[in-house]
A and B are shown apart, each in its own frame.
Chain A
Amino acid sequence: MTLALQTIGLEKHFGGLNVTRNLSLNVEAGARHALIGPNGAGKTTVINLLTGVLKPNSGRILLEGRDITNTPVHQRVLRGLSRTFQINQLYADLTPLETIGLAVSERSGHGGDWWRRMGTRTDINDEIAENLARFHLLDVMNEPTGRLPYGKQRLLEIAVAIATRPRVLLLDEPAAGVPESERHDILAVVANLPRDVTVLLIEHDMDLVFSFADRISVLVSGALLVEGPPDEVARDPLVKAVYLGETPMSELPDV
Chain B
Amino acid sequence: MTGMTTPSENVGFHARRTARWHAGEVVFWIVLIGCGLLFPSRYLIMTEILRIGLFALSLDLILGYAGIVSLGHAAFFGVGAYAAGLLALHGIVGEPVLALLVAGLAAAVLGFATSFLVIRGVDLTRLMVTLGIALLMEALAERFSNITGGTDGLQGIVMQPILGLFEFDLFGKTGFWYSVAVLFVMFLLARRIVHSPFGLSLRAIRNNPLRASAVGIPVNRRLVAVYTLAALYAGIAGGLFAQTTQLASLDVFSFERSADLVLVLVLGGTGYLYGGLIGAVVFKILQEFFSTITPQYWQFWIGLVLVTIVLIGRERLERWVMFVPRRAMRALRRSKAEGGGAT
Contact = CB atoms under 8 A, between A and B. Distances in A.
Interface of A: 51, 53, 72-75, 77-78, 82-83, 85, 89-94, 97-99, 101-103, 105-107, 110-120, 122, 125-126, 128-130, 132-133, 138, 141-142, 160-161, 163-164
Nearest to A142: B14
A101 B215 contact: no
B7 A118 contact: no
B19 interface: yes
B197 A118 contact: yes
10 closest Cβ pairs, A-B complex = A119-B15, A91-B207, A77-B216, A119-B16, A129-B7, A114-B198, A106-B216, A89-B211, A125-B12, A129-B8
B7 A94 contact: no
Given A125-B9, A129-B7, A101 B208 contact: no
A141 B214 contact: no
Nearest to A76: B216
Interface in B1-31: 6-19
B214 A125 contact: no
B193 interface: yes
Nearest to A88: B211
B218 interface: yes
Contacts of A142: 14
- Max chain A C-beta neighbours (<10 A), residue from B11, B196, B199, B208: B11
Contacts of B201: 102, 105-106, 111-112
B192 interface: yes
Contacts of A126: 8
Contact of A114 (B7, B199, B208): B199
A200 to B, nearest CB: 15
Contact of B16 (A107, A118, A138): A118
15 contacts: A72-B213, A74-B218, A75-B216, A91-B203, A91-B204, A92-B207, A92-B208, A105-B197, A111-B217, A112-B197, A114-B196, A114-B198, A115-B192, A125-B11, A141-B14
Contacts of A106: 201, 215-217
A110 B198 CA distance: 9
B217 A102 contact: yes
Contacts of B9: 125
B284 interface: no
B6 A102 contact: no
Contact of B197 (A74, A99, A102, A160): A102
Given A74-B217, A119-B16, A89 B210 contact: yes
A110 B192 CA distance: 16
Given A129-B7, A133-B7, A91 B208 contact: yes
Contacts of A115: 192-193, 196
A74 B210 CA distance: 10
Contacts of B314: none
Nearest to B199: A114
Interface of B: 6-19, 192-193, 195-201, 203-204, 207-208, 210-211, 213-219, 222
B197 A129 contact: no
A122 to B, nearest CB: 7
A53 B318 CA distance: 40
B216 A103 contact: yes
Nearest to B194: A114
Contacts of B216: 74-75, 77-78, 103, 106-107, 111, 164
Contacts of B7: 129, 132-133, 138
B81 to A, nearest CB: 27
A37 to B, nearest CB: 23
Contacts of A78: 216
Given A73-B213, A89-B214, A91-B207, A111 B10 contact: no
A93 B219 CA distance: 18
A118 B195 contact: yes
A27 to B, nearest CB: 19
Contacts of B12: 119-120, 122, 125
A103 B212 CA distance: 9
Contacts of B14: 97, 119, 141-142
A98 to B, nearest CB: 6
A142 B8 CA distance: 14
A94 B9 CA distance: 20
A119 B13 contact: yes
A93 B207 contact: yes
A120 B16 contact: yes
A77 B130 CA distance: 32
B62 to A, nearest CB: 15
Contacts of B217: 74, 102, 106, 111
Contacts of B196: 113-118
A110 B208 contact: no
A142 B217 CA distance: 22
A249 to B, nearest CB: 35
Given A91-B207, A129-B7, A133-B7, A101 B200 contact: yes
Contacts of B218: 72, 74-75
A116 B214 CA distance: 23
A217 B199 CA distance: 42
A112 B6 contact: no
Nearest to A146: B207
A129 B6 contact: yes
